[in-house]
A and B are shown apart, each in its own frame.
Chain A
Amino acid sequence: MVSHSSSVTARNIRLLATPATILVLVTAIIPLVVLSSTVVRSSDVISIWQNSAVQNALVFSIWQALLSTIFTILIGLIATWYLTRYQFRGRQALIALITVSFVLPTVAVGASFIAVLPTWLHHSTFAIVLAHIFFNISIVVRTVGPRWNSLQEDLVHCAHTLGASSLQTWRHVILPLGKSAIYSSAALTFFMCFTSYGIITILGGPGLATLDIEIYRRAVQLGDLSGATVLAVAQMLFITIAFLIWSRSRSVELTKFRVVAVSQRKLSVAPRFFVGALTVLFLAPLSALSIASFRTGRSWSLSGWKVLFGMQNQRGLELDIWQALQTSGKYALIASCIALPTGIAATYAFSKNGSTNSRWSSLAILPLSISPVVVGLAILVTYDFAPFEFRSSWFLIPVVHAAIAMPFVVRAALPVVQGIPPELRSAAATLGASPWRRFCLVEIPLLRPAITTGIAFSMAISLGEFGATSFLTRRESQTLPIIIANLFGKAGAIPRASGMAASLLLVIVTGIIVLSVDRKPQV
């Protein structure tokens, strides 16, 4: 009896990671190396860290990321517990809301938080942490959720039978079983908060800056490209290494997917209150956005929407929203067509016998860990000679989007690929199917949850992407986030209302795509 479950050798499996590696090399590593060799002065490598603004930015980055991560994990775990183990009205809707919130554009969410929060909270660490919870709670729910979902009810009952209190059951049974998922979601949350740019800019007070913001300032406003590149490379190394160390290598961790009937337990009073508060957290900013889109100055009006869709002429504002939607849609489709096969292939590359060495797949996070400004500048300086002269090519934008979305495709695919029983592959092989046929007829149907989630996330991330997109030169029409930023930059009641309307449109379109494609979230 053949002992290995697949017919391919280790060498061939590793080959599957090539597209992903090429994507990361092309969009991140090569440009960064070229940029560093072009602009960095060796003296800056040490001296930049002596700058007090840089030190403050570094300290603040770590501090707010830690704080945000702790609270996101705390609240996320409680939310995950209620969402996975209890049944209540609106459960599916809340999960959907949480999922969509992760991919919402910062530009829109920042504006809505300002609209919702009272003025005295506008510039505060509290606002920043709250916004980070809003964005990142989905990481916890969608990572820990599936793990707790397949938690056998019997284990909990056993513990109770043996005399454990609820707290002890938590400590000794439930938490340990979710430990690796909790660690990995904590790592990703810390990373997303550390590299947070838009939220800090909008909700942080003047003078509060993360490392990303400081990099931007150095590169763009002060013209100190050398210092900015040093900081960006350092940040990338720090994050990637931290991520590698933090994501534990899992040797035998089978998360076989079984559909577990959700417990029919109802929520008692205190949990109900918690769920209610969570719903308010998610609905309030979106409602504020909607309201603001119907208000011009002090009165209610449809003009914001009408001008946006070209139904009302407005001197001084020529918007082609349909063109923008088309462009955004085109980029989103291309980005997901690149990110999906690349990401899934990479997941396969590091899966063997149902387990995954997730350390290497965490390297997919690399493009995300570099400040978009530096990525943009690096690409500019690298791809400027024939035949690689694609620095001004429109195609570059969806490629960069794909590089940004790929780690999320990998994250979605990991548990699914792990959960495919190796016996199925062997059985198909025994029945005479070639590897390609096996893949098409057996594995792709089983991969469907990963495929749908991967497509949904890639498209949503591409739709809402602002940082890198705004920096890469565009020759054709704007994307939707760029139009939003332009509208917010104009004085006057109508551009303001139209900007809010466009933000809401972006949220709705993103939501529709995510919800219609990702129909059965495994929570």
Chain B
Amino acid sequence: MRKTHATPFIATLLIVLTTITACTSENSTTKELTLIAYDSFTPPEGAFDEFTQETGISVQIAVAGDAGEMVAKASLTTGNPEGDVIWGVDNTLISRATESKIFAGDPVEVDFGDVCVNFDVAALGQIQPPMTFDDLILPEYKDMLVVQNPATSSTGLAFLLATIAAFGDSWTDYWKQLVNNNVQVVDSWDEAYYTSFTRYGGDRPLVVSYSTSPPAEVIFADPPLPTGSPALTGVASETCFRQVEYAGVLRGTHFTKQAQQLVDYLTSPTFQALLPESLFVYPANKDVELPQSFIDYAPKIVNSFSLPSEEIAKNRQSWTDQWSAIVLQ
């Protein structure tokens, strides 16, 4: 009898292999650059049109995961990158990125923002909103604050770093006092903001979030707020940690000149003006005018804390472990 059981599966195999090889033979010409970014990088439609008009090069956005995952992947593929330009390496990750030599040349700053304690105006009522770290340990703010675990949330990490920058070595004492004031800890920003925050049905009127969350609340309010309405949420302006994001040409790209043109475009006023209302960050380019929603509702943060990137990378693990020992008992 003929042994033809092999035929069907060989056919399947061939089809699969052919399709795979067919699809991998997409080649990129100098007419297209790949910009690597994180999942939530969603510039509006047509953000790169002016660049394409000027240079004739189209920009393809390749996203993968959040900022941490993106840098992990870039570090692993250093010298043989998946794209030409990378966007969104923040200051907690930049030292790991430069150590792995992922950049050709120096990265440039493209945007910044702050992680601060947000408060719900309505929920606080008559109580004066807190402004500084010292306020947060006062008895009148007991049972009010929710923070994120720095081991699992970049927002939580930023808040922890802010306290370390503010208090130096005695940051552990500060956290013990926060624990005494019954601070709540959750694992993600999402949970803190949408489950614990009073604005969304929780019981905590103080939450660690971004300085751009108040304008976001206004922009995304439903039904839309009439112009001139008072802000729904505010920010404790002395509790902020500065987050800066960088972009740069990736080492190993075949189109260095064009990639540099793209990086220049990313810092140009045209592109930077799109940042506030799509990514909810402040543009690094000081010549750009902020949109009205930001002018009206985004707080002006004058003093925000920061730490050198190398120090963060070196001590991150031990700081997080110490924090867990104090707070997660």
Contact = CB atoms under 8 A, between A and B. Distances in A.
Contacts of B210: 491
Contact of A474 (B42, B62, B199, B328): B62
A388 B60 CA distance: 22
A223 B151 contact: no
A237 B6 CA distance: 31
Contacts of A7: 1, 3
Given A223-B75, A486-B42, A435 B4 contact: yes
Interface stretch (B33-41, B48-56, B163-171): B33-41
A434 B317 contact: no
Interface in A1-37: 7-9, 12-13, 15-16, 18-19, 22
A134 B68 CA distance: 31
Given A7-B3, A395-B23, A486-B40, A19 B72 contact: no
Interface string B1-17: 11111111100110010
A208 B237 CA distance: 32
A221 B68 contact: yes
A9 B3 contact: yes
B199 A470 contact: no
Given A296-B222, A489-B189, A315 B21 contact: no
A315 B219 contact: yes
Interface string B215-255: 01101111100000000000000000000000000000000
A197 B10 CA distance: 37
A238 interface: no
B193 A491 contact: yes
A391 B82 contact: yes
A415 B185 CA distance: 48
B209 interface: yes
Interface in B184-219: 185-191, 193-195, 199-200, 202-203, 209-210, 213, 216-217, 219
Contacts of B39: 470, 478, 482, 485-486
Contacts of B306: none
A222 B317 CA distance: 7
Interface in A171-204: 201-202, 204
B178 to A, nearest CB: 14
A390 B12 contact: no
B35 to A, nearest CB: 10
Interface in A284-324: 296-297, 299, 301, 303, 314-318
Contacts of A79: none
Contacts of A399: 20
Interface string A214-236: 00010111110100000000000
A297 B199 contact: yes
Interface in B295-314: 313
Interface string A394-423: 110001000000000000000000000000
B108 interface: no
A223 B23 contact: no
A186 to B, nearest CB: 29
Contacts of B221: 296-297, 492-494
B64 A471 contact: yes
Max chain A Cβ within 10 angstroms of own Cβ: one of B9, B34, B36? B9
B105 interface: no
A493 B201 CA distance: 12
Contacts of A219: 72
Interface in A367-400: 373, 376-377, 380-381, 384, 387-395, 399
A473 B9 contact: no
B217 A492 contact: yes
A496 B213 CA distance: 13
Interface stretch (A94-102, A256-264, A338-346, A509-517): A338-346
A206 B328 contact: yes
A81 interface: no
A434 B62 CA distance: 50
Nearest to A475: B62
B12 A341 contact: yes
Max chain B Cβ within 10 angstroms of own Cβ: one of A223, A341, A429, A471? A223
A131 interface: no
Interface residues of B, number: 77
Nearest to A220: B68
Contacts of B317: 222
B182 to A, nearest CB: 15
B23 A393 contact: yes
A496 to B, nearest CB: 6
B126 interface: no
A222 B320 CA distance: 11
Max chain A Cβ within 10 angstroms of own Cβ: one of B62, B187, B199? B187
A490 interface: yes
Given A380-B73, A475-B34, A387 B220 contact: no
Contacts of B209: 491
A497 interface: yes
A114 interface: yes
B187 A297 contact: no
A491 B297 CA distance: 14
Nearest to B151: A217
A122 interface: yes
A338 B9 CA distance: 11
B104 interface: no
B19 interface: yes
Nearest to B207: A491
Given A296-B222, A381-B76, A473 B36 contact: yes
Contacts of B65: 220, 470-471
Contacts of B62: 392, 473-475
A407 B220 CA distance: 43
A19 B220 contact: no
B278 interface: yes
Contacts of A470: 39, 64-65, 69
Given A206-B149, A225-B72, A482-B39, A315 B277 contact: yes
Contacts of A388: 24
B6 to A, nearest CB: 6
A105 interface: no
B72 A220 contact: yes
B218 to A, nearest CB: 8
Contact of B13 (A22, A225, A384, A496): A22
Contact of B8 (A377, A434, A439, A492): A439
Contact of A492 (B203, B219, B321): B219
Given A207-B328, A473-B63, A475-B61, 15 more contacts: A12-B6, A114-B195, A201-B152, A296-B222, A314-B220, A316-B219, A342-B12, A377-B76, A395-B19, A435-B3, A470-B39, A486-B42, A492-B216, A494-B222, A496-B200
18 contacts: A12-B3, A12-B5, A15-B9, A16-B9, A53-B321, A114-B191, A119-B202, A119-B203, A299-B222, A318-B278, A434-B4, A436-B7, A470-B39, A475-B60, A478-B39, A492-B217, A492-B220, A493-B217
